[in-house]
Amino acid sequence: MLSLTEKCAGVLVPLFALRGSSDFGCGDLAALRRFIDWSAAHGFRLVQLLPVNETGGDNSPYNAISSVAIEPTTLDPHAILDLQPGEIAAIAEQHNVSLGSVEWAAVKRLHHDLHRRAFANFSAHSWERNDERAKAFAAFAKEELSWLEGYSLFRVLMARHGTEAWDTWPEEVRTFAAAERWLEALRPGHRGAIDQELRFFCYVQWQAFEQWRAVKAYAQQRGVALMGDIPFGVNYSSADVWAAPALFDLKWSGGAPPEPAFMGDEFCRRWGQNWGVPLYAWPAHRADGFAWWRQRVRKVRDAFHTFRIDHVLGFYRIYGFPWRPQRNAEFAPLTHDEARVRTGGELPHFHQHDDDTAEHRAQNRAQGEEFLRVLQAEVGPGALVGEDLGTVPEYVRPSLLSLDIPGFKVPQWEKEGDGPLTPGHDYPRCTIATYATHDHDPLRVMWEGWMNTIRAALAEPERLAGENERAWREVRAFADWAGVEVPHILAFDEVHEPLLAGLLRSNSAIAIAMITDVLGTADRFNVPGSVTAENWSARLPADWEIAYAEKTQRVAQLIRAAGR
């Protein structure tokens, strides 16, 4: 559905940030349908979402507990046939859910109770009668057995032990094989209750995939493509690692080296970002024809027309830490020699190879292309996008272009050395242009940061002369790229729409703006490396469609003027 020959405009929004007419504390598929309508009406032909896989205790969509299972809070309770409106209202009244920022614990409890009621109704009616819905459910469970069996048992054990951290569970269930033996040894009375719990978690996933497939079809009818997101790594505390540990190298923890854009704390400045995801045991993946990865991309295509792989650089080489993130504070102040003492001689480095020699660079490129061709063969042309930001080896972008996989162009980062920013008309068509992702400051914050520095320098010109010069240099380079004149200090509202127009004029096939950049707000959805209640919880204003109607109509005009 997505063409790389015709230019289009897209909008990025986290699903949880949306608002629905019947709100249960976070954006759901009812809200997404409404947003698809809004996007189609304003000329956005692509809606990009963050990952929608089921999350664990930190609620990060990039740290899911399954590479396939869908987050239950994305479901629209009113679209579950086994729930009556009165039941939904009665259960909702029992929960105190905020309509402001997402309070994940409360939201998950509410949705869990709704799904429990739906399952009880399904069990008492459809399942007992073995009607057509029961047969459809059984067919789903059979078809998805390769991942659903391990996931559902993982979820049962996660509920019993109160944590997804399987390495803290009792030895008798600490591996999938051991848990299956434990299950077989249960007395019949206990086994029946466990079987019912297994069926419950399968039922929720059945409902999730049914709803997401329907929303994908709805978007297609409206002329809107849905772009999903697959994190390169998978949570250590996930059903995947627990059920198939041989596919992962659990000695190493994936992340990224120190980068100028992410210097939020001492650890990141000294060592980089330690995400905690295990590295892949690539020989094991090759041995079974990359079945796990093939399954992963097939299932995301059930819900999305196209998808991006977050940190596609990891297919070429991935930065690995010889300790898990729980020990970051311990290593933050250490020298390399001191760190080696605690790791048995190992330091963070790239796997399989550093980009230190021509031979290693060639090997890394060949590896990345091997893996990406496998995924392309599984999902077909036009379905795969690569997030290639950060410290990018010189061979990665030519490699992606040779595979017809769009990478990203962030204008303020695109330049050669100290030269001017690369003009947008020079971007290859097979790219995606955007000012920011969910990890970055919105346009308003970036612009006002420059202006505030300049204002401060006016008050203390001698002391802040250097900062003033740097801020003006960045402002003018950025504004020149977008074709905006900045003769003096300008408020963000004076440049907001001209900046969006500059992005839309670029040669990239897809120009994507975060919803916050479309609206011109300062809200941020994530600060990398921060594990707080504020992360992954910001929502759009309740009346945003009305409050920003004039603004978004002007953005729609910009899209039309740019030929997108």
Domains, in order of start, for the chain: 8-561 (3.20.20.80)
At residue 261, the pLDDT reads 63
At residue 68, the pLDDT reads 98
* Coil, helix or strand at residue 114: helix
The pairs formed by 56-60 with CB atoms below 8 angstroms and a separation of 24 or more are: 56/164, 56/235, 56/237, 56/238, 57/163, 57/164, 58/531, 59/102, 59/104, 59/535, 59/536, 59/537, 60/526, 60/531, 60/535, 60/536
Distance of CA 124 to the CA centre of its chain: 37
Angstrom distance (rounded) from CA 478 to CA 334: 38
DSSP codes of every residue in 370-416: HHHHHHHHHH-TT-EEE---SS--TTHHHHHHHTT--EEE-GGG-BS
At residue 380, the pLDDT reads 87
* Coil, helix or strand at residue 350: strand
At residue 294, the pLDDT reads 97
What would the pLDDT profile of 168-198 be if each residue is shown by its tens digit?
Answer: 999 999 999 999 999 999 988 789 999 999 9
At residue 262, the pLDDT reads 62
Q: In what order do the strands lie in the sheet with 431-434?
A: 384-386, 306-310, 225-231, 44-48, 8-12, 510-514, 431-434, 407-409
At residue 264, the pLDDT reads 64
Residue recorded with tokens 């020959």: 5
* Coil, helix or strand at residue 244: coil
Angle in degrees, CA 39, 73, 136, rounded to 5: 95
H or E segment and range at residue 93? helix 85-93
Angstrom distance (rounded) from CA 71 to CA 65: 9
Angstrom distance (rounded) from CA 256 to CA 29: 33
* Coil, helix or strand at residue 205: helix
User: Within a 10 A sphere around the Cβ of 144, how many other Cβ atoms?
Assistant: 20
Closest to 272 in 3D by CA, of 228, 220, 332: 332
Residue recorded with tokens 């429990």: 116
At residue 2, the pLDDT reads 64
β-pair partners for 229: 308
Task: Please answer whether residues 156 and 194 qualify as being in contact, where contact means their C-beta atoms are separated by less than 8 angstroms.
Answer: yes
H or E segment and range at residue 321? strand 318-321
Angstrom distance (rounded) from CA 30 to CA 240: 29
The pairs formed by 148-152 with CB atoms below 8 angstroms and a separation of 24 or more are: 148/202, 148/205, 150/176, 150/239, 150/240, 150/242, 150/243, 150/244, 151/66, 151/68, 151/69, 151/201, 151/205, 151/239, 151/243, 152/198, 152/199, 152/201, 152/202, 152/205
Task: Please answer whether residues 439 and 528 qualify as being in contact, where contact means their C-beta atoms are separated by less than 8 angstroms.
Answer: yes
* Coil, helix or strand at residue 549: helix
Angstrom distance (rounded) from CA 25 to CA 99: 5
Per residue of the chain (564 residues), what is the pLDDT tens digit?
A: 567 778 999 999 999 999 988 889 999 999 999 999 999 999 999 999 999 999 999 899 999 999 999 999 999 999 999 999 999 999 999 998 888 899 999 999 999 999 999 999 999 999 999 999 999 999 999 999 999 999 999 999 999 999 999 999 999 999 999 999 999 999 887 899 999 999 999 999 999 999 999 999 999 999 999 999 999 999 999 999 999 999 999 999 999 998 766 666 788 888 998 999 999 999 999 999 999 999 999 999 999 999 999 999 999 999 999 999 999 999 999 999 999 999 999 999 999 999 999 999 999 999 999 999 999 999 988 899 999 998 899 999 999 999 999 999 999 999 988 889 999 999 999 999 999 999 889 999 999 999 999 999 999 998 989 999 999 999 999 999 999 999 999 999 999 999 999 999 999 999 999 999 999 999 999 887 677 778 899 999 989 999 999 999 999 999 999 999
